[in-house]
């Protein structure tokens, strides 16, 4: 029995380490991309002074396992953006999870046009806002990229939350976080705001 418990304990440590490593890799790649003048959303003056994005410390508390519920017969809709552009999305499912014992829910979406492109047929878009918005994090909320899960569970890693390009450059058109994805909790993970 002791061997089984030890195995499970070690397995959970390895699993957590993998999650932390994935978050570290994501943040390093994001910084690398933003420092690249050919890929960066930063304005020229900001790019010249760019030394890296400001992240919350990586926290395993914000790597949560969610129950994924696929929604059926959802109609496509025009998602509001920061400009007149209205890309077509559909609600793909619901993510049910808890943080600090508080039951939470987020809707996850699929971009209709993007899903038709090679490599993006299983891509999901998770926009959210929380109680840090306008304080430590971007007032307009943040995004997480996901893939369609193969089971009824999926990991949400808020340490991989990033800002819309509009947080760095007004010339971009960015989806506005739907009101139903506003969390009544502080998500102290992921990218912080860029400018005050």
- Residue among 192, 130, 135 nearest 167 (CA): 192
Beta carbons within 10 angstroms of residue 74's beta carbon: 15
What is the average pLDDT value for the chain, to the nearest integer? 91
Quick check: is 195 in a domain? no
Quick check: is 192 in a domain? no
What is the rounded (10 degree) CA torsion for 133, 137, 140, 141? -80
Quick check: is 53 in a domain? yes
Q: Tell me, rounded to whole angstroms, the distance of Cα 54 from its chain centroid.
A: 16
Share of the chain above pLDDT 70, in %: 90
Residue 26 backbone phi and psi in degrees, to 5: -60, -45
Quick check: is 37 in a domain? yes
Q: Give residue 50's domain range.
A: 2-181
Quick check: is 86 in a domain? yes
Quick check: is 69 in a domain? yes
Condensed to tens digits (0 to 9), the pLDDT of residues 12-69 reads: 433 444 589 999 999 999 999 999 999 999 999 999 999 999 999 999 999 999 999 9
Overall number of domains in the chain: 1
Q: Band of the pLDDT at 196, cuts 50, 70, 90? A: low
Residue bearing the bigger pLDDT, 4 or 176: 176
Quick check: is 196 in a domain? no
Condensed to tens digits (0 to 9), the pLDDT of residues 147-165 reads: 999 999 999 999 999 999 9
Quick check: is 191 in a domain? no
Query: How far apart are the two ends of the chain, measured CA to CA in Å?
Result: 55
């Amino acid at each position: 029995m002791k061997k089984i418990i030890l195995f499970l304990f070690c397995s959970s440590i390895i699993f957590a380490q993998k999650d932390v490593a994935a978050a570290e890799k994501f943040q390093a790649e994001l910084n690398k991309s933003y420092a690249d003048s050919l890929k960066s959303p930063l304005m020229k003056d900001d790019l010249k002074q760019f030394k890296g994005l400001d992240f919350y410390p990586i926290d395993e508390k914000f790597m949560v396992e969610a129950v994924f519920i696929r929604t059926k017969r959802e109609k496509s809709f025009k998602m509001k953006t920061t400009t007149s552009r209205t890309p077509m999305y559909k609600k793909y499912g619901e993510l049910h999870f808890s943080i600090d014992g508080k039951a939470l829910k987020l809707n996850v979406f699929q971009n209709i046009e993007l899903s038709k492109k090679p490599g993006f047929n299983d891509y999901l878009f998770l926009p959210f806002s929380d109680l840090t918005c306008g304080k430590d994090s971007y007032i307009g909320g943040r995004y997480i990229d996901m893939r369609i899960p193969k089971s009824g569970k999926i990991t949400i890693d808020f340490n991989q939350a990033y800002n819309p390009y509009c947080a760095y450059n007004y010339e971009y058109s960015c989806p506005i976080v739907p009101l139903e994805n506003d969390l009544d909790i502080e998500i102290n993970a992921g990218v912080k705001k860029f400018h005050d």
